[in-house]
Amino acid sequence: MFKIKIAILVTLLITPLFALADGISSLKRFYDETHAMQADFYQVVTDKKGQKIQEVYGAMQLKRPNKFRWDYNKPFEQQIISDGAKVWLYDTELAQVTVRALSKALGSSPAALLAGDDSLDKNFRLVNTFRKDNLEWVSTNPKDLDSGFSKISLGFKADVLQEMIMIDSFGQQTKIVFSNLVHNPAIDPKTFLFKAPKGVDVVGE
């Protein structure tokens, strides 16, 4: 169940660029100036009562538009890779790959905010900006009510993306904290290609 939640999260990042707070300015610069990104991340999921139900570590890479890779390393291994046309979810423990067309997988998802093209403002609506924990935040609502998320927030410090917080339709919160972030690195194009290992079941399109 928790592994599938990760797939929903990334399948698996920008909003309208007009407002009054510094967070919007940081978001605009991130969107305009970030063509590629790589970072380590820590992800924690809590329920409506604030109790921790999942904790994972990994690394991510993206190249806009629409190419990304999330490698979950602890406590289990999973990969989510987009080659710009399809999204692949590979669960090493289950020895299973799920594949979907990018157009169906991305939509109003958090991955669309980070890796999407410049048409994505039509998928998100800016609802609030605030300052908390020494970060400038931008809060958005996906326009697609079936996206699985009621709110997605991004936190910046000195125009550098630090955190994402997502509230899903069940009231659960997913928080992602980025570290060792590299802005516009040179990434090998093969990073975003996926070939199912021999003997692994492939499900989907």
pLDDT (average), residues 101-111: 66
Across the range 88-114, mean pLDDT stands at 78
Mean pLDDT (the chain, rounded)? 80
**pLDDT for 111 beyond 50:** yes
In terms of phi and psi (left: phi > 0; alpha: psi -120 to 50; beta: otherwise), the region of 50 is left
The pLDDT of residue 163 is 94
pLDDT of residue 15: 34
d(CA 41, CA 182): 12
User: Which CATH superfamily, name and number, covers 2-188?
Assistant: Lipoprotein localisation LolA/LolB/LppX (2.50.20.10)
Q: Which helix (H) or strand (E) holds 103?
A: helix 102-105
8-state DSSP, 169? T
Length of the chain measured in residues = 205
Question: What is the rounded CA–CA span in Å between residue 121 and residue 54?
Answer: 30
Asked whether the predicted pLDDT for residue 7 surpasses 70, the reply is no
Q: What is the pLDDT of residues 144-173, one digit of tens each?
A: 666 667 788 889 988 889 999 988 888 899
Mean pLDDT of 55-71: 93
pTM reported for the whole predicted model: 0.80
- State the Cα–Cα distance between residues 40 and 61, nearest whole angstrom: 9
Bridge partners (DSSP) listed for residue 101: 86
How confident is the model at residue 134, as a pLDDT?
A: 86
The per-type count for the chain, helices as H runs and strands as E runs, is: 4, 12
